[in-house]
Amino acid sequence: MDTSDTWQETDGALVREFEFASFPDAIAFVQRLAEVAEAENHHPDIAIRYRRVTVRWTTHSAGGVTERDHELAARTSQLA
Amino acid sequence: MDTSDTWQETDGALVREFEFASFPDAIAFVQRLAEVAEAENHHPDIAIRYRRVTVRWTTHSAGGVTERDHELAARTSQLA
């Protein structure tokens, strides 16, 4: 379930807000996302606001969005 | 482990940043915090930025910080 439906490129990052049915569902998503992030050694910024989770992918060393961010954004969508 | 060492009251919320040794440690803290939040039916805003987690307690219905926020902030510190 998601609110913004697509990733937006904002301030040098790919950003999307996901909305879940419950707070535990939102946290379970964060857990899945964290496992992928750690396995890939690439960590998005994550903001949790009750049932809504905003994910922000960027590559600090590149100063913006890379192909890898696009790939991981797509994987993030599949996790939601 | 924490960075700011105390809770700051900012914009009608109790805010504190915690820093952990690793990203998995940060996520494990979020998991513990989420369990308390769900059990108490009071949910803080949580921002994860690699090994740093910012927690923000406020009571929207009261328009600011309540005694309950102070209690849950103290419990949050114990979880870190």
- In a domain, residue B8? The reply is no
User: Contacts of residue B45 in chain A, CB cutoff 8 Å?
Assistant: 47-49
- Here the CATH number for the domain that contains residue A27 is 3.30.1360.20
- In a domain, residue B53? The reply is yes
Number of domains in chain A: 1
**Which residue segment(s) compose the domain that B38 sits in?**
13-79
- In a domain, residue B7? The reply is no
Give me A53's structure tokens.
């989770």
- In a domain, residue B43? The reply is yes
Q: What's CA A36's distance to the chain center, in Å?
A: 11
Mutate to test the interface with B, among A35, A46, A59 (most CBs of B within 10 A): A46
- Residues A26-55, mean pLDDT to the nearest whole number: 98
Mutate to test the interface with A, among B23, B27, B36, B61 (most CBs of A within 10 A): B27
- In a domain, residue B75? The reply is yes
- Here the ipTM equals 0.93
User: Contacts of residue A23 in chain B, CB cutoff 8 Å?
Assistant: 34, 37-38, 43
- In a domain, residue A3? The reply is no
Answer yes or no: is pLDDT of B2 > 90.
Answer: no
Distance set, CA B65 to CA A4, A38, B11, B19 (Å): 30, 35, 10, 23
- Residues A26-45, mean pLDDT to the nearest whole number: 98
What's the confidence (pLDDT) of residue B38?
Answer: 98
Answer whether 0.90 is exceeded by the pTM. Answer: yes
Q: Do A38 and B47 touch (CB under 8 A)?
A: no
- In a domain, residue A65? The reply is yes
